[in-house]
Structure 1
Amino acid sequence: MRIWYQSYVDYEHGKTYWDRLRLHLKDIVDEGTTVDIHGITPHDNYAHAIVEFRCAREVICNAVRAEREGYDAFVIGHFQDAGLYEARSVVDIPVVALGEASMLYAAQLGQRTGIVTINTRFIPWFHHQIGKYGLKERVTGVHAMQFEPGQILRAYESEDLAREVEALFEAQAKPLVASGCDVLIPGGGIPMLLFSALKNHAVDGAPVINGIPIVVKMAEMAVKLRRLTGLGASRTSDFIKPPPEIIEEFLANPKGL
C-alpha cells in the first residue's frame, strides 16, 4: 500500500518537522505500507483563509497526481482540511484529512470535544469545519494559542519553546475541560507531532488526541475496504465527480485563469 501524505509545510522551512514526521509515520503504518510526504511551496506560513485557499488548489492537483502515479490513498496532513471535499470529488482513491478524521474519532472517545488551535484567526475556519462535518453538538469549544504556523515550527529546534507550547496548550485546554469537554484535540499536525512523545497525554483527565496515527490508520482502512468491497465516496451530492475534461481544464490552468 502506498499513501501520499500531503503536508502544507515544505521541507526547506520544516526540515526537523519532516524528519520527525517520517520517523513517526514509519512507526505507525502496517507492514507493507509506505508513506511519502509531499509539501507545498510556498508553505502555509500565515494563519489566514486566503492562504488556505491557495494551498487547497495545489492539494486538489496533487490528489489527481497521486492517483495517476499509483498511490492507493491521499492523506491531507493539515488540520484545516483545505481542499478536502474538492479533492475527494476528483479522484477515486480514498482521500482522508487530519481535521475530519480527528474530530470523528474523538466522538468515539467522549461526548464533547474541545480544540486548541495555534492562532485565533483559525477559530472561524474551525467552526465552519465543525458545521460542515455535522458535529456542532459534539465539538463544542475552540480556543487558541497565538503562533503563526512558521513560528510554531521553531519548537522543533528548541526544547524550551516546545515546553512553552505545551504550557500554552494546557492553559487554553483547562477552561474547555471545565466547561464540559471530555476530549481535546491540538488543532494542527505541528502541535500533534510535537506532543506525540507524551504518552497518555491528558489535561485534567481529558485525553489529548494525536490525529496523525488516526488519519493514517483511517487511510489504510479505507484502502482495505475498497479492495474488499469496492466501497468509495458517494457520487450523488458533495462528491459528484466532474467530467474528465473539466478536471483537465482545472489542472491546465494553475492560476485559475
Structure 2
Amino acid sequence: MRIKIINPNTTLSMTKNIQLAGQKFVSPDTEVFAVSPSTGPASIESYYDEYLAVPGVIEEILKGDKEEKIDAYVIACFGDPGLYAAREVTDKPVVGIAEAAITVSKFLAPNFSIVSVLDRSRKMSEEMVRMHGAEDRCKSIRSTGLSVLEFDRNLEKGLKALSEVSLKAVEEDGAESILLGCAGFVSFVDDLQERLGVPVLDGVSPAVKLAEILVSMGCRTSKFLTWGYPENKQIIGYENITSLQNTRV
C-alpha cells in the first residue's frame, strides 16, 4: 500500500515533519511519503494562500495516479484545501486532516476546540467546521497569534503559545479535546497531551490511518455524480494539470 501525503505549502522542513507524523502508526508494509507541490505559497493562512495552493494539490494527485501507483491521498493542511476537487480527479480515497481529526475526536470526547495560528484564520476554521457538519461539537476556535512559519522557526516558542491557548480552551471554554489547527503542529502532540490531560489530535496521523483503513477495505471514491471525473476541456495556464487529466489511467 502506498499513501501520499500532500503538504499544500512549499516549506519542505514542514513536509519532513508531516511525513514522520504520517509514518508513526501505520502497518510496517504501508509506505507513506510526503511531498510539497512545485508551486504554491510558503504557508497557508488566508483565502489567498489557500486558493493558490489548490492547483498544486490537484497536480500531485493526478501525478500520483498516473506515475506513482498511489492507493490513497492525504491533504495535510487543516483547511482541507481542494478536498472535494481532489476527490473528483481520482477514485482513490482522499482524506483531509481536519476532516480526520474531527471524525476521530468523536470517538474520544463529546466536543473539541481548535487551536490555530493567526487571528485572521479564524473565519476559515469556522467555515471548515461547518463544511464537516461539526458546529454543535466545536466549543471554540482560538488562535495563538503566531504565523505558520514562526512555529516552524521556533519550536519552543510555538509549544509555549499552544500550551497557553489550549489550556484556556480547556479551562474557560470546556473543551474536552484539542484539535491542532495546522499540519505544522505535528511535533507538539505528545507534549501537549501530557500537559493538558485531554486528547490532542494533530490530524495527520489520524488521516493517514483512516486512509490505510479505507484502502484495506477496498473502498473507492464514488464517481456516480457529484465527484465524477471532471470533463476534459482546455484550461489555459494549467497545461501540466490538463495533460495529466487527459491521460488519466
* TM-score, normalised by the number of residues in structure 2: 0.85
Q: What's the offset of the Cα at 1:199? A: 7.6
Measured against aligned partners, the alpha-carbon deviations of 1:79-134 in whole angstroms (never above 9, x if no partner) come to: 11100111012210110111110111112111111000011121111111111111
* CA deviation vs aligned residue, 1:133-191 (integer Å, no higher than 9, x gap): 11110123100011222222102xxxxxx232222112222232232211101111111
Structure 2 CA distance for partners of 1:24 and 1:128, relative to 1, 3 Å? closer
Work out whether residues 73 and 93 of structure 2, in 8 Å CA contact, stay in contact via their aligned partners in 1: yes
**Residue number in structure 2 paired with 1:169:** 162
Q: Normalization by structure 1: what TM-score?
A: 0.83
Distance in 2 of aligned mates of 1:4 and 1:55: 17
Question: 1:58 and 2:56 equivalent?
Answer: yes
The yes-or-no answer on 1:252 pairing with 2:239 is: yes
More displaced 10-residue stretch of structure 1: 85-94 or 232-241: 232-241
Partner of 1:181: 175
Q: d(CA) in 2 for partners of 1:26 and 1:179? A: 33
Name the SS of the counterpart of 1:86 in structure 2.
Answer: helix
Residues 132 and 20 (structure 1), Cα distance of their counterparts in 2 relative to 1, 3 Å cut: closer
Q: Is the Cα–Cα contact under 8 Å of residues 14 and 153 in structure 1 kept in the other structure? A: no
The number of aligned residues is: 238
Letter in 2 for 1:173: S
Cα distance in 2 for residues equivalent to 1:152 and 1:95: 27
Asked if the contact 1:89/1:241 (under 8 Å) is kept, the reply is: yes
Query: What SS does the aligned partner of 2:74 have?
Result: strand
Contact map agreement 2:163 2:192 (CA 8 A) in 1: no
Q: How is 1:58-77 mapped onto 2 (pairs within 5 angstroms)?
A: 58-69=56-67, 70-77=69-76
Q: Name the SS for the 1:81 alignment partner.
A: coil
Q: Quick one: which of 197, 201, 222 aligns to 2:194?
A: 201
Matches within 5 A, 1:207-222: 207-222=199-214
Q: What whole-Å deviation, never above 9, does each CA across 1:15-60 have from its counterpart, x for those lacking one? A: 3x44444444444321111112111344433521111001012111
Unaligned runs of 5+ in 2: 243-249
Q: 1 CA distance for matches of 2:90 and 2:55?
A: 14
Aligned letter for 1:167?
Answer: K
Report how far residue 238 of structure 1 moved: 4.4
CA RMSD of superposed structures (Å): 2.4
Unaligned runs of 5+ in 1: 156-161
Q: Distance in 2 between matches of 1:238 and 1:125?
A: 23
Asked if structure 2 preserves the Cα contact closer than 8 Å seen for 1:113 and 1:182, the reply is yes
Against the structure 1 CA distance between its residues 54 and 181, is the aligned structure 2 distance closer, same or farther, given a 3 Å change threshold?
same
